[in-house]
Amino acid sequence: MDQKTTALPHWDMTPVYPALDSPEFQAAFERLTGLVSEMETYLGETAQAAGPDAAPADLAAVAGGLVERFNAVAELGGTLRAYLTGFTAVDSFNTQARKIESQYQVLGARMDDLQTRFRAWFGRIAGRLDEILPLNPAAQAHAFALREAAERSQYQMSPAEEALAAELSLSGGRAWNKLQGTVTSQLTVDFELDGNQQRLSMPALINLRSHPDEDVRRRAFEAETAAWVSVREPLAAAMNGIKGETLTLAKRRGRPDPLDAALELARIDRATLDAMLGAMADSLPMFVRYFRAKARLIGKERLAWWDLFAPAGNAERVYGWPETRDFLLENFTGFSPDLASLVQRAFDSRWIDAESRPGKRGGAFCMGVPAIKQSRVLTNFDGSLDQVSTVAHELGHAFHNACIYAAGKTMLQSRTPMTLAETASIMNETIVQNAILQRAASDEEALGILETGLIGDSQVIVDIYSRFLFEREVFARRAKAELSADELCEIMTWAQKEAYGAGLDERYLQPYMWTWKPHYYSVDLPFYNFPYAFGLLFGLGLYAIYQQRGAAFVPEYQALLASTGEGTAADLAARFGIDIRQKDFWAGSLNVIAQRVERYIQLVG
C-alpha cells in the first residue's frame, strides 16, 4: 500500500492528561510546584543542618530523604515536560502550549537548581558515603548515582551562582534553543514536485534528498540552501549565544573545556573517545571507496552533496505505514518477543507521530513518559526504506525505556548516558537491515538494501566525524570572538572536506548544515555528535555477540538496557568482555561496515 494514500498517525497524548486546559494537567502542574518547593525547604533546612560531622544515622536518613524527593520531582517533571513537548514539537504554532511550556521552564530552572544543590550536598559528605550508604535502603539502592553526584559537584559554582545561571538560562541559552526550533520548524518553501507547485516544510524538503530523480534532488538542495540563507543571521546569533554561554559556564565551573562535560555526561574518558575517533579517522578511506563506487553507479566522477542519499538498486519502493508495522513485527519477534510486544503496542496505541507537516520539528526522536511508563516517537515518515529504519531506530529507544520501566528503576537509576542511549536503536536497525538483505531476491535488490544501510553508516561515521570537528573548531573560535554566519559556513565546509575527502565534489558541499541540526543548540549537551558513533559501533559489537550466542544473549542484553543508568560505559561493556579504551574494538566494529562496502563495490562492478 502506498503510504501517500494512507493517513499517517499523530500521537495520542490523552493517556498522560486529557488536555492542556484539563483539571488533571493543572493539578499535576500545581503538584510539581509543591514538590519543588518542598524539596527546596528540605535542602535548605534538614540537609543544610546535616554536615560532614553529623552522626552516620542522621546523614543516612537525609541521603534517603533526598533520593526519594529527587525521584518524585524528576518523575513528575519529566512527565510534564514530555506532555508539553507532545504539543510543541508537532505544532510550533500552538501558542497555548508554548506559553505553558515557558511557565514550565521557569519551574525547570528551579529544578535545575535543586539538582545542583543535591550534588553539592553529596559532595560535602563524599568522604562518608561508604559509611552511610548501607544504613539506608533507598540511598544504598542509588549508590552509583550518589557517588557520581558527589564527583560532579567539584565542577559546580557556588549555590548562588548556579541558581543565577539557571534563571538566566531562560532568557539565554534556552531562549536561543527555542528560537532555533521555532525558526526551522516554521520555515516553508514553494517547490515544484510531480508537476505541482507545493509549499513544503523543511523536513519534507530535506526528505527529497533521497528522491530517485537527480533534478529533484538538486533543486531541493538549492531550495534548501536558499531557505537557510534567508534565516542564517538569527540562527548564527543563536549559535553564538549558546556556545558563548557554554564556554562561560565551563570556565566558571573549573572545567578545561566543554568537551570535558560532554565526556562526563557520556560516562566515558578521553582515552575511550580518542580510541574511537582514531578508528573512525582510519576508516575514512574505506568510505571514500564507497562514495566513489556510488558515483560510478550514477554516472559521475564524484558525488555532489545532493547525491549522498540518492537511492540505488531497486530499494526505491515506497513502504506503507501498515506494511512498515508488519515488517518490524515479523523481524523483531524472532529476536525478542518483548521487543515485538512493545512495537505492537506503540502502533496500536498511537505512540508515534509520523506525518510531516508545517510547524512540526524535523528529524526524529523518542521521549519517555515516566509517570505512565510509556514512550512517544516522532518521525517524519516518507515511506522510504531509510524512514523504515528510522522508525525501527526510535522504537529501539522506546524498548530501552520499556526495559528500564519493567525493571522498576527510579529516575536516578535510569539516567542513561548519551553513549549507551543508542544501543537498542542500533540493534534494531541492524536486525532490520540484515533481515532485508537476507531475503533479497536479486543482486539489484541487494545493492539497494546495502545502499540504504551504507547511507546510514556513512552519516553516523563520516558526517558525525565532520560534526565533531565543526563543533570543536566553533568552540575554539567562539572563545575569542563571535562568529559570523560566513565563518560558521567556512568551518562547516572545512570539516566536511576533512571527513569526506576525495569522496565528494568539493564544489557542492552543504555549508549550512549547522543551521538545522538541533544538537548544536543546547547549552547542556555540547558535542551531542560522538555518542551516535559510539552507539553504532557499540551496537554492532553487541550484534556480533548475538550472532555467536543466539537466544542466550537476549536476556543479558535486556538486563544491560535496564541498567544503563547504573554504571560507566566501560564497566557495562566489560560485562560482554569489551574494552572500549582499545582501538581494536572500534576497528572490529568498523570492519563489519567494511564488509558491506566490499560487497557493495563488487555489485557495482
Look at residue 196 and give its three-state secondary structure.
strand
pLDDT by residue (tens digit) across 477-535? 999 999 999 999 999 999 999 999 999 999 999 999 999 999 999 998 999 999 999 99
Place of cell 499535576: 28
Contact 229, 402 (CB under 8 A): no
Query: Of the candidates 382, 378, 389, which has an alpha carbon nearest to the alpha carbon of residue 346?
Result: 378
CA distances from 377 to 25, 29, 369, 382, 499 (A): 21, 23, 11, 15, 31
Q: How confident is the model at residue 114 (pLDDT cuts 50, 70, 90)?
A: very high
Give the C-alpha separation, 375 to 369, whole Å: 5
Contact 402, 338 (CB under 8 A): yes
- Residue 3: is its pLDDT beyond 80? no
Give the C-alpha separation, 363 to 528, whole Å: 15
Q: Bridge-partner residues for 353, per DSSP?
A: 378
Contact 206, 512 (CB under 8 A): no
Quote the distance between the C-alpha of residue 208 and its chain's center.
23
| pLDDT > 90 fraction of the chain, expressed in percent and rounded | 84
Contact 21, 94 (CB under 8 A): no
DSSP structure string for 451-468: HHHHHHHHIIIIIHHHHH
Least confident of 51-65, 156-170, 283-297: 156-170
Pairing of strands 196-201, 352-353: unpaired
In this prediction the pTM is 0.82
Give the C-alpha separation, 503 to 237, whole Å: 32
pLDDT by residue (tens digit) across 187-211? 999 999 989 999 999 988 998 998 9
Give the C-alpha separation, 564 to 397, whole Å: 12
pLDDT by residue (tens digit) across 458-473? 999 999 999 999 999 9
